[in-house]
Amino acid sequence: MPTRLLVLEDDDGIRHSLALSLEDEGYDVVQHADAESALATVEREPVDLMLVDLMLGGMDGFTFIRRARPSSDAPIIVLSARNDTHDIVSALEAGADDYVTKPYVVREVLARLKALLRRPTVTTGAADAPPPDGTVVLDSSDGPLLLSPEAGTVRRGADAVHLTVTEFRLLCELADPPGRVLSRATLLERVWDRGFFGDERIVDVHIRRLRTKIERDPGHPLLVVTVRGLGYRLDVR
């Protein structure tokens, strides 16, 4: 079954051109010119990756990303003419995984999406299934927090913890093995395959998002800790 991509772009020429290029690569592409109809598709049918413009009529791209995230963990690449750092960080904090500024070269977009699609699939896992081999116990207090890299799951006791693909990959890198300090540059290279725009602040944004999902108190993290001047370290508890 071909990989299914969603393209949300209100410029007809850009949208059709990009869709043709993606279809030539063998992808199944569903196109939308407005965020409302794109959101209905995401809520109704699974997609493997989304390519999203920010400047749209009606609901903007930021809002679309925030509203799509509860329904889908599929990677999201922003394609936008807005290149201000604030816009980039805001899109990433909303739930995007990557950001490409216009005008772009289609080969670059293809490289980015292939890198994202190569990452392991994140699943919820069966609540009553035993932890598979290779599971890492991140936190054993008040119901264990379990990371299973091979199964693509994170669970707090019997409850699934829903991470995006990028958040899951970031957690796996920190956990292999725990206790090491990894610099932002190292995480950028390993998680984003040197495919991002090069700003190491992307790592900080995704660390903040990850902490909101696995830390008891994200404001005072005990698992993913900052090592000032060096980077980040995962401390199992």
CATH number, domain with residue 18: 3.40.50.2300
Please state the domain count of the chain. 2
Residue 210's pLDDT is 94
How many angstroms separate the CA atoms of 38 and 56, rounded? 12
| CATH at 166 | 1.10.10.10
Residue 152's pLDDT is 84
Residue 193 inside a domain? The answer is: yes
Residue 129's pLDDT is 55
Range of the domain at 8: 4-117
**Is residue 61 located within the same domain as residue 94?**
yes
Residue 53's pLDDT is 96
Q: What is the pLDDT of residues 18-28, one digit of tens each?
A: 999 999 999 99
For CA atoms 123, 129, 133, 134, the dihedral sign is positive
**Is residue 157 located within the same domain as residue 220?**
yes
How many angstroms separate the CA atoms of 101 and 113, rounded? 14
**Is residue 159 located within the same domain as residue 101?**
no
Across the chain, what does the average pLDDT equal?
88
Question: What pTM value is reported for the model?
Answer: 0.79
**Is residue 109 located within the same domain as residue 21?**
yes
Residue 151's pLDDT is 83
Residue 86 inside a domain? The answer is: yes
Residue 123's pLDDT is 58
How many angstroms separate the CA atoms of 172 and 165, rounded? 11
**Is residue 155 located within the same domain as residue 95?**
no
- Among residues 63, 88, 117, the one where a domain terminates is 117
Residue 62 inside a domain? The answer is: yes
* Sites in the chain below the pLDDT cut of 70: 119-133, 193-199
- Among residues 86, 117, 148, the one where a domain terminates is 117
| Spatial contact of 201 and 185, defined as CB atoms under 8 Å apart | no
Residue 193's pLDDT is 67
